[in-house]
Amino acid sequence: MTDEMKSLLDDDTFELLHLPEGGKVDGGRWVYAVKLGPNDEEQFKAKGYSQKVAKGYSQVQNVDYYEIFSPTARVTSVRILMQLVVQHNLTVHQMDVKTAYLHAPIDCD
């Protein structure tokens, strides 16, 4: 079992369920980075938590999902915040939460 899978199990982030009547399962695929090994042979390396991805192109809007949302910050917004930090002599802390998406509420099947 991989460390990522163990982390998912330890965090109790999923449970196995029966597929509802009329439901369908979207497929998935593995995403690898190709690296050159010591003798220039190709090695396939999994990329962190994004190694297994859903084939979202098989979903239908307003049937399988209702909205798409991917929060990103514009560079101008970050620059404005940094200017405020400098003006008010504040401290900035940066962090990344790798499993934040796992704890987000889900309001549909």
Residue at 71 is within a domain = yes
Which domain does 78 fall in, by range?
A: 3-15+28-94
Tokens of 75: 């560079």
> Per-residue pLDDT tens for 31-80?
777 778 788 888 777 665 456 677 767 777 777 777 777 778 899 999 99
In angstroms, rounded to a whole number, what is the distance separating the alpha carbons of residues 81 and 90? 10
Closest by CA position to 4, among listed 44, 50, 45, 35: 50
Is the distance from CB of 52 to CB of 30 less than 8 angstroms? yes
Number of domain units in the chain = 1
Residue at 105 is within a domain = no
pTM of this prediction exceeds 0.75: no
Closest by CA position to 53, among listed 16, 27, 14: 27
The residue type found at 57 is: Y
Residue at 100 is within a domain = no
* Chain Cα centroid distance, residue 96: 12
Phi, psi of 41 (to 5 degrees): -90, 150
